[in-house]
């Protein structure tokens, strides 16, 4: 199976998950809370901030030709209106190191984390945020744009809406259990409602002390329809700045997309879910140069909604079904409505068994190849992730990486899957 010479085969990371000590960000502040939702703080992460050159060389040695990483807004603008030139030169060094090693840098401008000050000003529910994001984009593009060809404005622009839908489903489940007579504060899900409510009140008080607001509207907080419009406006404002300051750059956003499969009776629910996570964004991305497709598994739906993973199915550490075929299905479905370039900006599995990772990659890439053979404009594949890293609230327990990291020494140990992925380059 061969891919064109100009087909990008690379790995992806996100600043907060790999760099370490992102101390001006909203996530860092939340991780330090007494009533934190995080299993552990990100801390030094994998020290990628200092070890990026070694990590880029590992990709080059394996034969990868592209690297997707994010520039951290909280480093560039740690205080509102104060921009840090030293941090820009850090990311310029990362970009130049990529190019010196024959690796195409793909920059993401926002990958879930925001400067803490933005959240204190209303975050991703404030009408001011698109303006702040455009100003940050301009600062970055005026300095780094000449070195770049691809920029993702926002990672998983639909994440907040997806989180809101999950939160709503969960609330309905809890209410149903309470109405079923389990009103003693302890329900069969092993949760103590009274303690949960007490925690929420204490956490709101703590957030007020830390952020000056009791409701922190982070990028991955449950998004209202108005907040979703703000995210879209931020994308379009950044796209306009990129086109003005660096017109040679191809830009777009990425979306978290599931291979939604309807069982008999589930067709309506499945169509509604797909409309909410994808079709809804078509007007916002119609003028983009590409769409970043991010897929990990499938979702089965019947008339009641999404179903648990099928009995006996192989699971990943994230409790996702091991289902690499999902990627081809999603690419084909997306291409029905989005006629622009498609780039797989994230696909991968959390597993301690690297043989399952290579099997996953082989199956996913054969699906991508089939799409290309049928004329779909797929231009690249980025495996998530280069390094075992900080999986947000789950901490370091999830191992997605092509490279293992001993965080006590920060020693890197490439897994066989890294060379396996690289072997597809230019084949």
Positions marked active-site: 156
State the nearest-atom distance from the C-beta of 400 to ligand GCO, in Å: 6
- For residues 401-420, which are near ligand GCO according to CB under 6 A? none
The conformational region for residue 352 under phi > 0 = left, psi -120 to 50 = alpha, else beta, is alpha
Using CB under 6 A, which of 14, 76, 365, 418 touches ligand GCO? Answer: 14
**Computed from CA positions of residues 199, 200, 205, 211, in that sequence, does the dihedral angle turn out positive or negative?**
positive
Question: Please, what's the b/e burial string for 36-55 (b: 16 or more CB within 10 A of its CB; e: otherwise)?
Answer: eebeebbeebbbbbebbeeb
State how far the Cα of 224 lies from the Cα of 380, in Å rounded to an integer: 32
Using CB under 6 A, which of 294, 297, 316, 358 touches ligand GCO? Answer: 294
Does residue number 72 form part of the binding site for ligand GCO (CB under 6 A)? no
State the nearest-atom distance from the C-beta of 17 to ligand GCO, in Å: 6
State the nearest-atom distance from the C-beta of 309 to ligand GCO, in Å: 16
Does residue number 285 form part of the binding site for ligand GCO (CB under 6 A)? no
- For residues 176-215, which are near ligand GCO according to CB under 6 A? none
State the nearest-atom distance from the C-beta of 394 to ligand GCO, in Å: 9
**Computed from CA positions of residues 288, 294, 295, 299, in that sequence, does the dihedral angle turn out positive or negative?**
negative
Quick one: DSSP state of residue 376? -
Does residue number 256 form part of the binding site for ligand GCO (CB under 6 A)? yes
My answer on whether omega of the bond before 385 falls inside 30° of 0, hence cis, is yes
Quick one: DSSP state of residue 396? G
Using CB under 6 A, which of 346, 361, 405, 421 touches ligand GCO? Answer: 346
Question: In terms of CB distance, is 91 or 390 closer to ligand GCO?
Answer: 390
Question: Please, what's the b/e burial string for 189-227 (b: 16 or more CB within 10 A of its CB; e: otherwise)?
Answer: eeeebeeeeeeeeebeebbeebbeeeebbbbbbebeeeb
State the nearest-atom distance from the C-beta of 13 to ligand GCO, in Å: 9
Question: In terms of CB distance, is 47 or 346 closer to ligand GCO?
Answer: 346
SS3 category, 41: coil
Edge-to-edge strand list for the sheet holding 298-302: 259-262, 298-302, 305-306
SS3 category, 106: strand
- For residues 138-167, which are near ligand GCO according to CB under 6 A? 155-156
State the nearest-atom distance from the C-beta of 221 to ligand GCO, in Å: 14
Using CB under 6 A, which of 153, 391, 403, 421 touches ligand GCO? Answer: 391
Cβ-proximal residue to ligand GCO, closest one: 14
Question: In terms of CB distance, is 262 or 285 closer to ligand GCO?
Answer: 285
Question: In terms of CB distance, is 68 or 412 closer to ligand GCO?
Answer: 68
Looking up tokens 């996570």, which residue turns up? 277
Quick one: DSSP state of residue 316? -
State the nearest-atom distance from the C-beta of 66 to ligand GCO, in Å: 16
State how far the Cα of 425 lies from the Cα of 392, in Å rounded to an integer: 30
Run of H or E including 252: strand 250-252
State the nearest-atom distance from the C-beta of 45 to ligand GCO, in Å: 12
Binding string, residues 100-139; x marks residues near ligand GCO by CB under 6 A: ----------------------------------------
Question: In terms of CB distance, is 18 or 262 closer to ligand GCO?
Answer: 18
Question: In terms of CB distance, is 17 or 351 closer to ligand GCO?
Answer: 17
Question: In terms of CB distance, is 14 or 242 closer to ligand GCO?
Answer: 14
Does residue number 259 form part of the binding site for ligand GCO (CB under 6 A)? no
SS3 category, 173: helix
Using CB under 6 A, which of 384, 396, 420, 424 touches ligand GCO? Answer: 384
Question: In terms of CB distance, is 46 or 256 closer to ligand GCO?
Answer: 256
> Which of 286, 262, 264 has the alpha carbon at shortest distance from 274?
262
Kindly tell me the burial class for residue 373, based on how many C-beta atoms sit within 10 Å of its own C-beta (0-12, 13-18, 19 or more): exposed
Task: Please work out the total of residues on this chain that contact ligand GCO, with binding judged by CB under 6 A.
Answer: 10
Neighbouring-strand partners of residue 346: 294
Neighbouring-strand partners of residue 378: 342
Which residues are at the interface with ligand GCO (CB under 6 A)? 14, 17, 155-156, 256, 294, 346, 384, 391, 400
């Amino acid at each position: 199976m061969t891919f064109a010479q100009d087909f990008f085969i690379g790995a992806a990371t996100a600043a907060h998950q790999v760099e370490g000590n992102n101390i001006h960000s909203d996530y860092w502040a939340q991780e330090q809370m007494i009533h934190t939702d995080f299993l552990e703080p990100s801390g030094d992460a994998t020290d990628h901030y200092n070890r990026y050159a070694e990590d880029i060389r590992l990709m080059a040695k394996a034969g990868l030709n592209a690297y997707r990483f994010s520039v951290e807004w909280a480093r560039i603008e740690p205080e509102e209106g104060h921009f840090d030139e030293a941090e820009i030169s850090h990311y310029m060094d990362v970009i130049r190191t990529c190019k010196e090693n024959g690796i195409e840098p793909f920059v993401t401008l926002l990958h879930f984390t925001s400067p803490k000050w933005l959240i204190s000003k209303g975050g991703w529910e404030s009408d001011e945020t698109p303006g702040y994001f455009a100003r940050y984009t301009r600062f970055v593009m005026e300095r780094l744009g000449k070195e770049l060809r691809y920029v993702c404005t926002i990672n998983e622009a639909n994440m907040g809406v997806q989180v809101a839908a999950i939160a709503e489903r969960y609330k309905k489940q809890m209410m149903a259990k309470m109405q079923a007579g389990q009103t003693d504060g302890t329900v069969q899900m092993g949760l103590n409602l009274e303690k949960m409510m007490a925690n929420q009140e204490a956490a709101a008080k703590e957030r007020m002390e830390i952020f000056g607001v009791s409701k922190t509207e982070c990028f991955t907080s449950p998004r209202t329809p108005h907040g979703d419009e703000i995210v879209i406006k931020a994308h379009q404002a950044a796209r306009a700045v990129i086109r003005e300051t660096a017109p040679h750059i191809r830009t777009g956003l990425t979306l978290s997309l599931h291979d939604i499969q309807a069982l008999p009776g589930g067709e309506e629910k499945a169509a509604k879910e797909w409309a909410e996570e994808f079709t809804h964004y078509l007007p916002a991305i119609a003028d983009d140069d590409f769409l970043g497709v991010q897929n990990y598994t499938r979702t089965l739906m019947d008339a009641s909604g999404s179903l648990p993973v099928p009995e006996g199915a192989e699971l990943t550490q994230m409790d996702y079904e091991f289902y690499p075929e999902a990627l081809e299905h999603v690419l084909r479905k997306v291409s029905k409505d989005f006629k622009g370039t498609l780039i797989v900006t994230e696909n991968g599995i959390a597993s301690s068994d690297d043989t399952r990772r290579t099997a996953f990659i082989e199956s996913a890439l054969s699906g991508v190849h089939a799409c290309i053979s049928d004329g779909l404009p797929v231009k690249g594949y980025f495996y998530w992730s280069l390094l075992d890293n900080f999986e947000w609230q789950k901490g370091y327990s999830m191992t997605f990486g092509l490279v293992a990291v001993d965080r006590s020494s920060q020693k890197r140990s490439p897994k066989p899957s890294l060379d396996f992925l690289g072997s597809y380059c230019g084949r």
